[in-house]
Amino acid sequence: MKRRLTSFLSKIQILSQFDASLEKLAQRKEDSIVNSIVEYIQKHQSSFIEELKEFLRIPSISASKAHREDCRRAAQWLMARFQSMGFENSLHETAGNPVVLAQYKAGEGKPTLLIYGHYDVQPADPEDLWLTPPFEPSIQYGKIFARGATDDKGQIYTHIKAAEAHLKIRGSLPVNLIFLIEGEEEIASNNLEKFIRENKDKLRADAAVISDGSQFALDAPAICYGLRGICVEEIRVEGAGWDLHSGSFGGATPNPLNEMCAIVAKLKDAKGKITIPGFYDDVAPLEPWEKKAFAELPWDDESFCCELKLPGLFGEEGYSTIERKWARPTLDVNGIFGGYEGEGSKTIIPAWGGAKITMRLVPHQNPKKISALFREYVQEIAPPHIRILFAPHSGCGPVAFPRSAPFMAEAENAIQNAFGKPPVFIREGGSIPIVLTMKEELGLHTLLLGWGQPDDGAHSPNERFHLQDFERGIAASAWLMELCGKK
Amino acid sequence: MKRRLTSFLSKIQILSQFDASLEKLAQRKEDSIVNSIVEYIQKHQSSFIEELKEFLRIPSISASKAHREDCRRAAQWLMARFQSMGFENSLHETAGNPVVLAQYKAGEGKPTLLIYGHYDVQPADPEDLWLTPPFEPSIQYGKIFARGATDDKGQIYTHIKAAEAHLKIRGSLPVNLIFLIEGEEEIASNNLEKFIRENKDKLRADAAVISDGSQFALDAPAICYGLRGICVEEIRVEGAGWDLHSGSFGGATPNPLNEMCAIVAKLKDAKGKITIPGFYDDVAPLEPWEKKAFAELPWDDESFCCELKLPGLFGEEGYSTIERKWARPTLDVNGIFGGYEGEGSKTIIPAWGGAKITMRLVPHQNPKKISALFREYVQEIAPPHIRILFAPHSGCGPVAFPRSAPFMAEAENAIQNAFGKPPVFIREGGSIPIVLTMKEELGLHTLLLGWGQPDDGAHSPNERFHLQDFERGIAASAWLMELCGKK
């Protein structure tokens, strides 16, 4: 009986050894496929870059009505890419620029990733500060320079090329993919929420993926678990019905520009604190683990200051630079205008002036509530001898995800495999309105996997994207599809 | 003896009666000449207006380099007018726009009037607020609408037509005339002082005459005895070396636009007082007779406010509107700019912003001293995390003339004759740099005889000149030449 049992057990052992080697064999085959995919990605870099250049040449500036047709061209360019890869794709009209939706069904039971990006870009001005024209991509120092290079054309394209690599080598995809690429991210994604609400069935997924940010630093890839929100305001301050001669009327009539400056100046105090009553009421304080983690990140204020050619740093008293950038709300004038801006002088009291102001918000501030507080305060501090008008408000709420969110671990491993080191966990100061919408409307957590660098110059002249990050981004995306498919 | 004496006396009486009637005859002849001159002026209004339209069509904007040739065209247009009237004339090159000098010698022993004006105009922007194109003169409601209509093309042209009327009717002029017409008044007359210093011999005169301002009100012609000076500044506030993403960097980097607003806000207090230390040190207080005279002028704050479509009046506490306009210094932002000014929003922390600021000065403030005080204070209040740059300063001092100045009485009578009522004595809030230069370099007092109206819209959209003022201005100028010639 004992021998029989031994023999039986040894048979099981042999069988299980056999199973193990079968598994190993499968694993080796899988490994060899992934290796081939990565090889394919490496081998085709130069053609990928040429394609990206095509994309970057389209001046798809969403803020300017004059570029409406260019935005459509960018959407159509993407449609053609998906078409050639065998995706089901469709162009969806909105009240603004169209949304590109492209889908690949790998099979029932496989997880689904919803990859979001945007084909619109920021305006290129001030154009005279660009060393090469913003819409004529050029490669220098291992980087590709163009408006949209890192934000977001270059980054969204990494996922498209990762899918292509899987399809070329494996003939199929390990996960179901939905690409959702919009054209109004740079103007607050005002039409996307409606689109998502009306197309929930087409957007069912297990997690969302966005690459529209940056790594923590060179050779410090990151996963971002929190974003600031934004509250967008614009004030117009009016005095007389028309510009007045500053000699004949100066001293006796209010000057809207002086008054506008006084109003803006009263929005923050000398310690960098925003003075709008109630502004900080809903701000979640930093968790102790976050304060510790942020403090442990490699950071040097002096180099930061020097790199940006700043005369000095300035921010809210009592917080570190990283805390100020990621986890504290802000109030910034993005543009100011009024009166004579040309050469020389024009001695007028201008009829009006305007200021574009955005406030970055952190959990759990609400943009609509902040907008109301802002307007109430501005009205309160505005003197009776001027008129204040407000442009329509837009905004989006802040967001933060737990470390246990779906596919967070797979993203960590994918980055480890592609970049050769584990990611750090960070928050970001920018806003990606879609992240909140996907959470609220689709119940999705988002993997925020920025492949760019903090100094890529997003929104600035000479925007750029490291070609190495472009390649590693494609590889990391390919790995992510691979690892999620195994779960 | 007695009879002889009686007879002698009666002869003298007869002779003196004869002299008196000769004088009367001469007077009648003179009167009939003046009447003919005035008739000539009235009869030729429509052709004078057509000529003025030609002049107004030239967009001689001195603030813009793009209009350099137009300025020259305006100067040449004037040269042709003087040529046809038999004046000795010459075009003098300067570092900027040329100066037109035209001279008519009526004879030794006759007094000389130096008539100054300018052929340059303010920029026309904001052009979309013009009801008719700024350089296509149009006549409506008895006014001629065009940039430069009242400031100063229409007004300088009254003196040219007055001289022409004398020449046509009398065949000569009762006074020597020198016309000095420059092309840089709207940009602080930077090259005129040098020209005057270098051409003193050509500019010898007994008094200067300028019509580049306005009457006190409709049917209230005025002689202006004081002008404010001006100190022109422009600051540039710099932060980072380029525009930064307001999400990624907001909160941790200084914002030059917020800081610029804070600086501008600190230049004046809530009571309209300028806060620059030492700013008021040299200000001459209003004389009691001036305070009284100003208070007696017809003035209604409510109508003033309403006419300008102002939500309310605002100025230095403790002074009336007229005092604030004429006799108190000011600080006004004439233009402000920085960051994104286009449609929609652009979420940046701009690299820099700028503000054009002018201060109107009163006796005995000095523009150079005020400039130094301004800069010192701005530097002092600017925080260390931004850079401040100053554009080159320009300016001119304030001025005031006594009621006993040469030909002041003749000017009073000329206005009485042409307008049918005596002028009021006023000051003006604007600056005419040449007035100070002519006083300092040529020892001349200036008769400031504005034919315009305070609401003519000088420097504003829809600038205009009443045709009635154009005609009465020509007649008053003709009378002035007449009366000065008799002295």
Express each pLDDT in A431-453 by its tens digit. 888 898 999 999 999 999 999 99
Other Cβ atoms less than 10 A from the Cβ of B277: the count is 11
Which residue bears the tokens 């980072």? B240
> Between β-strands B387-390 and B229-238, what pairing exists: parallel, antiparallel or unpaired?
antiparallel
Q: Which residues neighbour A410 within 8 Å (Cβ) at sequence distance 6 or greater?
A: A480, A483, A484, A487
The answer to whether the CB atoms of B258 and A459 lie below 8 A apart is: no
Q: Does A297 contact chain B (CB < 8 Å)?
A: no
Q: Which residues neighbour B373 within 8 Å (Cβ) at sequence distance 6 or greater?
A: B276, B277, B278, B279
Chain A, chain B: beta-carbon pairs less than 8 Å apart: 379
Closest C-alpha among B339, B358, B187, B328 to residue B267 = B358
The shortest CB-CB distance from B353 to any of A260, A324, A336 is to A336
ipTM: 0.76
Closest CA–CA distance from residue B449 to any residue of chain A (Å)? 15
Q: Does A246 contact chain B (CB < 8 Å)?
A: yes
- The answer to whether residues A381 and A265 touch, using CB atoms and an 8 Å cutoff, is no
Q: Which pair of tokens denotes residue A269?
A: 């105090």
Print burial letters for A369-389: b (CB count within 10 Å at least 16), e (below 16): ebbebbbebbeebbeebbbbe
Among B residues 145-184, those touching chain A with beta carbons less than 8 Å apart: none
One-letter amino acid of A377: Y
Residues of A in contact with B249 (CB under 8 A): 308, 325, 429
Statement: residue A344 has pLDDT above 90 = no
Q: Which residues neighbour B430 within 8 Å (Cβ) at sequence distance 6 or greater?
A: A245, A247, A248, A347, B213, B227, B228, B360
Q: Where is average pLDDT lowest: A13-17, B78-82, B428-432, B439-443?
A: A13-17
Statement: residue B421 has pLDDT above 80 = yes
One-letter amino acid of B405: A
Q: Does B133 contact chain A (CB < 8 Å)?
A: no
Q: Does B396 contact chain A (CB < 8 Å)?
A: no
Among B residues 1-60, those touching chain A with beta carbons less than 8 Å apart: none
The shortest CB-CB distance from B347 to any of A252, A265, A334 is to A334
The shortest CB-CB distance from A251 to any of B230, B253, B429 is to B429
- The stretch B87-103 carries a mean pLDDT of 97
Give dist(CA A163, CA A487) in Å, integer: 18
Residues of A in contact with B247 (CB under 8 A): 228, 230, 360, 428-431
Q: Where is average pLDDT lowest: A8-17, B38-47, B89-98, B206-215?
A: A8-17
pLDDT at A1: 45
Q: Does B284 contact chain A (CB < 8 Å)?
A: no
The answer to whether the CB atoms of B330 and A246 lie below 8 A apart is: yes
Which residue bears the tokens 């988002």? A446
Q: Is A343 a catalytic residue?
A: no
Q: Which pLDDT band, with edges at 50, 70 and 90, does B456 fall under?
A: very high
Q: Which pLDDT band, with edges at 50, 70 and 90, does B90 fall under?
A: very high
Statement: residue B309 has pLDDT above 90 = yes
Q: What does the DSSP assignment read for A138-190?
A: EEETTEEESTTIIIIIHHHHHHHHHHHHHHHHHSS-SSEEEEEEES-GGGTTT
Total residues belonging to chain B: 487
**Paired strand residues for B112:** B176
Give dist(CA B42, CA B48) in Å, integer: 10
Closest CA–CA distance from residue A146 to any residue of chain B (Å)? 15
The answer to whether the CB atoms of B358 and A342 lie below 8 A apart is: no
**Chain B, nearest residue to A385 by Cα:** B312
The shortest CB-CB distance from A245 to any of B250, B255, B458 is to B458
Closest CA–CA distance from residue B356 to any residue of chain A (Å)? 7
Number of H helices, E strands in chain B: 13, 19
**Paired strand residues for A100:** A91, A181
The answer to whether the CB atoms of A258 and B187 lie below 8 A apart is: no
Q: Does B324 contact chain A (CB < 8 Å)?
A: yes
Going from the C-alpha of B390 to that of each of A248, B356, B374, the distances in angstroms are 26, 10, 10
End-to-end C-alpha distance for chain A, whole angstroms: 42
Give dist(CA B27, CA B21) in Å, integer: 9
Full-model pTM: 0.77
The catalytic position among A120, A151, A471, A482 is A120
Closest CA–CA distance from residue B244 to any residue of chain A (Å)? 6
The answer to whether the CB atoms of A347 and B230 lie below 8 A apart is: yes
Residues of A in contact with B381 (CB under 8 A): none
- The answer to whether residues B441 and B134 touch, using CB atoms and an 8 Å cutoff, is no
The boundaries of every CATH 3.40.630.10 domain in chain A are 31-227+399-486
The H or E element spanning position B266 is none
Interface probe for B, chosen from A127, A238, A286, A337 (most Cβ of B below 10 Å), is: A337
Closest C-alpha among B388, B477, B12, B451 to residue B224 = B451
The shortest CB-CB distance from B429 to any of A249, A394, A429 is to A249
Residues of B in contact with A260 (CB under 8 A): 261, 336
**Chain B, nearest residue to A306 by Cα:** B240
The answer to whether the CB atoms of A346 and B356 lie below 8 A apart is: yes
Compute φ and ψ for A173, nearest 5 degrees.
-115, 145
Which residue bears the tokens 């009021």? B424
**Chain B, nearest residue to A381 by Cα:** B270
Q: Does B257 contact chain A (CB < 8 Å)?
A: yes
Q: Is A185 a catalytic residue?
A: yes
Tens digits of residue pLDDT in A348-372: 999 999 999 999 999 999 999 999 9
Residues of A in contact with B246 (CB under 8 A): 330, 332, 334, 358, 360, 459
Statement: residue B137 has pLDDT above 90 = yes
Statement: residue B24 has pLDDT above 70 = yes
Q: Which pLDDT band, with edges at 50, 70 and 90, does B238 fall under?
A: very high
Give dist(CA B212, CA B153) in Å, integer: 9
Give dist(CA B434, CA B477) in Å, integer: 20
CATH T-level fold of B32-227+399-486: Aminopeptidase (3.40.630)
Give dist(CA B107, CA B105) in Å, integer: 6
Among B residues 188-207, those touching chain A with beta carbons less than 8 Å apart: 188
The H or E element spanning position B466 is strand B464-466
CATH T-level fold of A229-283+329-396: Alpha-Beta Plaits (3.30.70)
Q: Which pLDDT band, with edges at 50, 70 and 90, does B1 fall under?
A: very low
Residues of B in contact with A383 (CB under 8 A): 270, 312, 314
Q: Where is average pLDDT lowest: A25-29, A47-51, A145-149, A460-464?
A: A25-29
Give dist(CA A354, CA A338) in Å, integer: 6
Residues of B in contact with A264 (CB under 8 A): 257-258, 261-262, 265
The answer to whether the CB atoms of B384 and A312 lie below 8 A apart is: yes
The answer to whether the CB atoms of A261 and B260 lie below 8 A apart is: yes
Number of H helices, E strands in chain A: 13, 19
**Chain B, nearest residue to A398 by Cα:** B247
Q: Which pLDDT band, with edges at 50, 70 and 90, does B133 fall under?
A: very high
The boundaries of every CATH 3.40.630.10 domain in chain B are 32-227+399-486
- The stretch A240-246 carries a mean pLDDT of 94
Give dist(CA B102, CA A401) in Å, integer: 81
Give dist(CA B434, CA B194) in Å, integer: 11
Statement: residue B9 has pLDDT above 70 = no
The boundaries of every CATH 3.30.70.360 domain in chain A are 229-283+329-396
Q: What does the DSSP assignment read for A257-298?
A: HHHHHHHHHTTB-TTS-B-STTTTTTPPPPPHHHHHHHHHS-
Interface probe for A, chosen from B145, B147, B253, B267 (most Cβ of A below 10 Å), is: B253
Compute φ and ψ for B37, nearest 5 degrees.
-65, -45
DSSP 8-state code for residue A344:
S
The answer to whether the CB atoms of A341 and B337 lie below 8 A apart is: yes
Q: Where is average pLDDT lowest: A211-225, A366-380, B150-164, B193-207?
A: A211-225
Give dist(CA A253, CA B306) in Å, integer: 12
Residues of A in contact with B332 (CB under 8 A): 246, 250, 255, 257-258, 349
Q: Does B234 contact chain A (CB < 8 Å)?
A: yes
- The answer to whether residues A61 and A182 touch, using CB atoms and an 8 Å cutoff, is no
Give dist(CA B357, CA B371) in Å, integer: 11
Compute φ and ψ for A143, nearest 5 degrees.
-130, 150
Statement: residue B34 has pLDDT above 50 = yes
CATH code at A31-227+399-486: 3.40.630.10
Residues of B in contact with A262 (CB under 8 A): 261, 264-265
Closest CA–CA distance from residue B288 to any residue of chain A (Å)? 21
Statement: residue A14 has pLDDT above 80 = no
Closest CA–CA distance from residue B88 to any residue of chain A (Å)? 33
Give dist(CA B177, CA B174) in Å, integer: 9
Among A residues 73-132, those touching chain B with beta carbons less than 8 Å apart: 122-123, 125-126, 129
Q: Does A262 contact chain B (CB < 8 Å)?
A: yes
Going from the C-alpha of A39 to that of each of A35, A469, B190, B390, the distances in angstroms are 6, 16, 70, 57
- The stretch B439-449 carries a mean pLDDT of 95
Statement: residue A210 has pLDDT above 60 = yes
